[in-house]
A and B are shown apart, each in its own frame.
Chain A
Amino acid sequence: MTYIPTSPAEREAMLEVIGVKTIEDLFKDVPARHRFPDLTLPPAVTEMEAAVDLGELASGNETTRDLVCFLGAGAYNHYIPSVVDHILRRGEFYTAYTPYQPEVSQGTLQSIFEYQSLITALTGMEVSNASHYDGATAVAEAANLAYAQFRGKRTKVLLSPAVNPQYRQVLRTYTQGMGLELAGDDPQADLQSGAEMLRTQIDANTALVVVQYPDFFGRIYDYSELITEAHAQGALVCVAANPTALALLKTPGEMGADIVVGEGQPLGIPLSFGGPYLGFFTTRRQYVHKMAGRLVGETEDNRGQRAYVLTLTAREQHIKRERATSNICSNQGLMALASAVYLAALGKSGLRQVAELCYHKAHYAADQLSRLPGYGLCFASPYFHEFSLCCPRPVAELNQHLLDHGILGGYDLGQDYPALKDHMLIAVTEMNTREEIDALVEILGEASHG
């Protein structure tokens, strides 16, 4: 089967229209010696030989299957029930294209509708879109929404310095050329006072305030007062939330947030060297027309049966063209499905159990580590499953030492925060046993003197 849809006659006709003789003529701007280079490939191997070669290559990787993992900083090592992968790999889901034609896409549409329903329940919000690429792009779309809501008349976005540094970088890339001022997270920003320092910076030009929950250092704050203050100034507030934590904590929706986004990877998606991940995006009903991406709705067909369709597609770029709020029309369909299956499999109490295990294990680890001479907890605020540990030696040295013992250590906060040199961000999940935590404590204790 050929995958070239044009016939030779059609190609001839097209070449004639554009005035060249052969397809090769189209490449004449590429220097001749770079055109059609000889590929010196090794002789073909059998599937059996290729499997051995690839297996050897893959065994060079060190993964969380072989190592004990205390690394988080935005992506977390959670258990994924086997049912998630079984559903994902069904051809009906795995190979399906975007569900523009509802007559033949009811399964995909229903799964997205259920995903949206689960995410709104988790965040305490009214509307969820069908998802974005990852947490960082979902945060960036929140800025797009706010920009569109104020039609460019408010030009300041206030960022908490405790928002994931990668999210802030992506936000800056996304908003280049929009005339937005991104403020609040300069390197000298006060990291101790949480979001309190943002309150004084909200003014009549502020379109959006972005905070994280729990924040990048794992700390838990109730943002209700900050949100009230922002609303008094007419600004919107976006909370970037960890979905696992939401099973245990007051939801950002209850706090009054206008937009709640986050990284959906903890919900049944493997670490996979950084992707594909899942960005979830929720908001209030009143902002739905400014929301990027797509939305699946439930309706009735002409026989009165329950049916699902893409709703509000008139906002998408293929219809709204240059007036669209965002150029994101697509969604991370397969990963959204994974998270929906994960949430359905665990249920409300199961997810809460995961969150409680994370919380208690992290607190046990923090308690043990903070007793070690030379170590200490950096912040006094309540935290969820991640905490910042002040260390007596450079984090890179300690992590090398841990790796020699088969442990993937925490995130080196000094990379992003000069004030937090020699601070390690340690994540503990339900995957970490007490023995593993005790081993971490023991090895870090031994390593304190170099």
Chain B
Amino acid sequence: MNIPATLKYTKSDEWFDPVSGKMGLTDYAQSQLSDIVFVEIVAAVGDTLTPGKTIASVESVKAAAESYAPVSGKVVAVNEALSGNPEVLNSDPFGAAWMVQVEGADSSGLLDAAAYATYCEERAH
């Protein structure tokens, strides 16, 4: 299970990068969903996000899920390429599969990598 130390996490399995302001779904989330066949980013540039707001809709061969904003902030970019290559979410969840980029976000309430790793392990049992 890949859990980069530089990122912050939520209990609904989103990651947030405090440096770049990007966010997406974690490696744990993609492994639970299995083969991703559809991603639709529903947040748009200019939107103001609040924590918990839906940013994307994700479907795999066996389930459908939503991705929620981990932080508040103003959307400055969305990953338009992702919907054309949804399988990238399986292969590169923390890189090419970023979903939305915001500015002015406060990530102080989020889990750090160690806490998120513990949380994932708890659910595995």
Residues of A within 8 A of B (CB): 151, 289, 312, 314-315, 319-320, 323
Contacts and interface: CB of A to CB of B under 8 A. Distances in A.
Interface in B45-97: 57, 59-64, 66
B60 A323 contact: no
Contacts of A315: 59, 64
Contact of A151 (B38, B42, B59): B42
A314 B57 CA distance: 12
B40 interface: yes
A151 B63 CA distance: 21
Interface string B28-41: 00000000011010
B62 A314 contact: yes
A315 B66 CA distance: 12
A323 B64 contact: yes
A53 B62 CA distance: 53
Contacts of B62: 314
A154 to B, nearest CB: 14
A319 B60 CA distance: 11
A320 B64 CA distance: 6
A326 to B, nearest CB: 14
Shortest Cβ-Cβ A-B pairs, 3 listed? A314-B59, A314-B64, A320-B64
A315 B40 CA distance: 13
Contacts of B64: 314-315, 319-320, 323
Nearest to B33: A314
Contacts of A323: 57, 64, 66
Nearest to A320: B64
Nearest to B38: A289
A319 B42 contact: no
Contacts of B61: 314
A276 B38 CA distance: 34
Contacts of B40: 289
20 contacts: A151-B42, A289-B40, A289-B59, A312-B37, A312-B59, A314-B37, A314-B38, A314-B59, A314-B60, A314-B61, A314-B63, A314-B64, A315-B59, A315-B64, A319-B63, A319-B64, A320-B64, A323-B57, A323-B64, A323-B66
Nearest to A316: B64
Given A289-B38, A314-B63, A323-B64, 14 more contacts: A151-B42, A289-B40, A312-B59, A314-B37, A314-B60, A314-B61, A314-B62, A314-B64, A315-B59, A315-B64, A319-B64, A320-B64, A323-B57, A323-B66
Contacts of A320: 64
A320 B40 CA distance: 15
A293 to B, nearest CB: 15
Contacts of B63: 314, 319
Contacts of A314: 37-38, 59-64
Q: Determine which residue in A314, A319, A320 has the highest number of CB atoms from chain B within 10 A of its CB, and name it.
A: A314
Contacts of B59: 289, 312, 314-315
B67 to A, nearest CB: 12
B3 to A, nearest CB: 26
A316 to B, nearest CB: 9
Contacts of A289: 38, 40, 59
Q: Determine which residue in B38, B57, B62, B64 has the highest number of CB atoms from chain A within 10 A of its CB, and name it.
A: B64
A151 B38 CA distance: 17
Contacts of B37: 312, 314
A320 B37 CA distance: 15
Contacts of A319: 63-64
A320 B57 CA distance: 11
A151 B60 CA distance: 21
Nearest to A288: B38
A323 B60 CA distance: 15
A195 B63 CA distance: 42
B47 to A, nearest CB: 11
Contacts of B60: 314
A320 B59 CA distance: 9
A127 to B, nearest CB: 14
A320 B58 CA distance: 11
Nearest to B54: A323
A289 B36 CA distance: 13
Contacts of A312: 37, 59
A289 B42 CA distance: 14
A313 to B, nearest CB: 9
A319 B61 CA distance: 11
A60 to B, nearest CB: 51
B64 to A, nearest CB: 4
